[in-house]
Chains A and B, each alone.
Chain A
């Protein structure tokens, strides 16, 4: 009898005693540092060792920004309607449904009202996990209404961008969300309320070419990809390799399109000071 032969028939361990190894306990940064999930959570999802900012979504940003993680979410039930009955290799409605099931989100942005360091603020945070954070009617409308809410509450507005750009499957509707969000920002400006635009990895296309670049203050996370055209398209157009660091936050700061770069761990304190500097 070999040592590997099972002595008892069948598996006898009761389900509740099963030792599960949950997935995603460890994360790896591009430079190869392995980080424990709990360590990351307590460090704003930034690697202790090399400072790499892991991509996170609205849930994490809300927990970083809002005091005691308390906030009122706005327009929680809004979802896409497929105005063009768009079908490519897959129906758009199926894509949305699949994304909703996978992410438990309704669409690629969540908006909320609450307090940060004791000061009222409206925050809109995008979720890249939902169809690449792309902007269709829902994203545009939720941002527009978030701005309306900031005007109503006479408080500042913060946009956390993280998006591949406009959503192709809503075509013309998506394009016009750029116009809609920009229109609302002019109203915010008329009310002399501050708009803080926080650009995170990645922010490209129609999002860069509308609200993301229109902040009274434009700030970014370190090392984020920020641009209008995607790097692959530019490479194909010019037929040359792109220089190192092209389209990073640091590159944009150097070229004058950002006010400063802020580490996610210092975001809340910087935001607090900024809001004070606008109001006191």
Chain B
């Protein structure tokens, strides 16, 4: 059963009609013409909807339960030639953060990313993609491993935030994220960060420092979720649509404000509508940027990385 978002109602209607028509086929009626008309109409309708998504609707797409998550991207891009590595060598293995070496067109790459669960049980297992400090420390351990063997790093970002828990505080959630920002700034290997779903605040930035920060078309990246923003500034959750607009959290706005380096187009109807096409687009982007980055030496990459983040901000004097 496909899942439809509230603004996808027209598509649901069309899908119903298409299903009905297909049922008629068994009675021997020629449906070719009607079916073509309906599928064309569906395509047009999808275009119409997806070309005009509001900020809040994009937030909804970024959280679509059928949207592919980090491990799906890694497995597709490496065609299964991936070995997951576990643990931060300190406290435990954080299931909300995954990583390991994978083969990308015959070249070894370190992949790291937050992982959400695909069903109720797995969502709990993955802590809804909210890492604890050990998740960030595991990510850093793997990135340092990549640096040691001179392998590039690709980070997939998809998190509603770093976990706000009791143990997370005891084990230094703030320190873990801060340490990653600091260490990632000076990694000698190329680093690409791709927001594939939700990019919520420090929890996202904790694996978000790199030479190319890219956002997929229907994702969001900001300092706070629209819901939390609404609850703090408007003192209730009813203003999330407004908050989403205000925060300028879409890929387009983030690019316009020079806070990210590029946007990866999604297949029509979002990444969940055609995951294979999404994987392909992401893989193409990774290859393109890695090739560019490998032209530079480590010192230049680091200097450019530091300069890029140092230039972010708008102020008057």
Which residues of A come within 8 Å of B, CB atoms?
Answer: 75, 77-81, 83-84, 86-89, 136-138, 140-141, 144, 166-168, 170-180, 182-187, 205-206, 208-214, 227-229, 233-234, 237-238, 240, 242-243, 246-247, 255-257
What would be 6 A-B contacts, judged by CB atoms less than 8 Å apart? A83-B257, A171-B224, A172-B254, A178-B205, A179-B312, A182-B209
A141 to B313, CA, bound (A): 7
Contact of B162 among A183, A228, A246 (CB under 8 A): A228
A233 to B223, CA, bound (A): 16
Q: Give the residue of B174, B243, B248, B306 whose beta carbon is less than 8 angstroms from that of A213.
A: B174
Q: In the bound complex, do residue B315 and residue A79 qualify as a contact, i.e. CB atoms below 8 Å apart?
A: yes
Q: Contacts of A89 on B, CB cut-off 8 Å?
A: 233-234
A227 and B233 form a contact (CB under 8 A):
no
Inter-chain contact B173/A88, CB cutoff 8 Å: no
Residues of A within 8 A of B205 (CB): 175-176, 178-179, 209
Pairwise interchain contact B229-A168, C-beta atoms closer than 8 A: yes
Pick from A141, A172, A180, A184: contact of B223, CB below 8 A: A172
> Do residues A81 and B315 form an inter-chain contact, with CB atoms below 8 A?
yes
Question: CB-nearest residue of chain A relative to B309?
Answer: A179
> Within the complex, what minimum Cβ distance (angstroms) separates A152 from chain B?
15
Q: CB distance A168 to B233 under 8 Å?
A: yes
Interchain residue pairs A-B with the least CB separation, the first 5: A229-B164, A208-B174, A137-B313, A83-B314, A228-B174
Contact A186 B316 (CB under 8 A): no
Contacting residue for B179 out of A87, A213, A234, CB 8 A: A213
Question: Are A234 and B164 in contact (CB-based, < 8 A)?
Answer: yes
Contact of A229 among B168, B178, B232 (CB under 8 A): B168
Contacts of B313 in A (CB 8 A): 136-138, 140-141, 173, 176-177, 180
Chain B residues in 8 Å Cβ range of A234: 164-166, 169
Does A209 lie within 8 Å of B169, measured CB to CB? Answer: no
How far is it, in angstroms, between the C-alpha of A141 and the C-alpha of B201 when the chains are bound?
Answer: 19
Question: Are the CB atoms of B309 and A183 closer together than 8 Å?
Answer: yes
Contacting residues, chain A, for B312 (C-beta < 8 A) = 137, 140, 173, 176-177, 179-180
Within 8 Å CB of A174, what residues of B? 223
A-chain residues with CB within 8 Å of residue B229 when the two chains form the complex: 168
B35 in contact (CB, < 8 A): no
Residues of B within 8 A of A214 (CB): 178-179, 182
B171-185 vs A, CB cutoff 8 Å, 1 = contact: the mask equals 111110111011001
- Contact between A171 and B222, CB atoms less than 8 A apart: yes
Residues of A within 8 A of B306 (CB): 183-184, 186-187
Bound form: Cα–Cα A206–B309 in Å: 16
Contacting residues, chain A, for B164 (C-beta < 8 A): 228-229, 233-234, 237
Cβ < 8 Å to A, chain B residues 173-202: 173-175, 177-179, 181-182, 185-186, 201-202
A209 x B173 contact (CB < 8 A)? yes
The residue that B257 contacts in the complex, of A138, A167, A172, with Cβ under 8 A, is: A172
Which of A84, A209, A242 has most chain B Cβ within 10 Å?
A: A209
B246 at the binding interface (Cβ < 8 Å)? yes
Is B310's CB under 8 angstroms from A184's CB? yes
Contact of A182 among B185, B233, B242, B259 (CB under 8 A): B185
Q: What B residues does A166 contact at CB under 8 A?
A: 201-202, 223-224
Residues in chain B near residue A212, CB distance under 8 A: 174, 178
Residues of B within 8 A of A208 (CB): 174-175, 178
Q: Is the CB of A257 within 8 A of B172?
A: yes
**A138: B residues at CB distance < 8 A:** 313, 315
B249 at the interface (CB under 8 A from A): yes
* Residues in B whose Cβ lies below 8 Å from that of A238: 165-166
- B233 in contact with A228 (CB, 8 Å): no
- Expressed in whole angstroms, the Cα–Cα distance for A234 and B130 within the complex equals 13
Interchain CA distance A229-B131 in the complex, whole Å:
13
The contact string, 1 if C-beta is below 8 Å from chain A, for chain B 247-274, is: 1110001100101000000000000000
B292 on the A face (CB < 8 A): no
Interface presence of B317 (CB below 8 A): yes
Q: Is the CB of B182 within 8 A of A176?
A: no
B221 close to A (CB within 8 Å): yes
- How far is it, in angstroms, between the C-alpha of A20 and the C-alpha of B173 when the chains are bound? 50
- Residue in A144, A179, A187, A246 whose beta carbon sits within 8 Å of that of B181 in the complex: A179
Contacts of B315 in A (CB 8 A): 78-81, 137-138, 141
User: Is B6 interfacial (CB-CB < 8 Å)?
Assistant: no
Given A174-B223, A212-B178, also A247-B169 (CB < 8 A)? yes
A209 and B310 within 8 A (CB): no
Does B170 sit at the interface, judged by CB under 8 A?
A: yes
A210:B314 contact, CB within 8 angstroms: no
A88 to chain B, nearest CB (A): 4
Residues of A within 8 A of B314 (CB): 81, 83, 137, 170, 173
Whether A171 touches B168, Cβ cut-off 8 Å, given contacts A75-B317, A177-B313, A205-B202, is: no
A237 and B165 form a contact (CB under 8 A):
yes
Smallest Cβ-Cβ distance to A148: which chain B residue: B310
**Cα of A241 to Cα of B76 in the assembled complex, Å:** 44
Interface centre among A77, A229, A243, A246 (most CB of B within 10 A): A229
Q: Is there an interface contact between B175 and A185, defined as CB atoms closer than 8 Å? A: no
A77→B317 CA distance, assembly (Å): 5
Measured between beta carbons, the chain B residues less than 8 angstroms from A177 are: 312-313
Docked complex Cα distance between A89 and B234 (Å) = 6
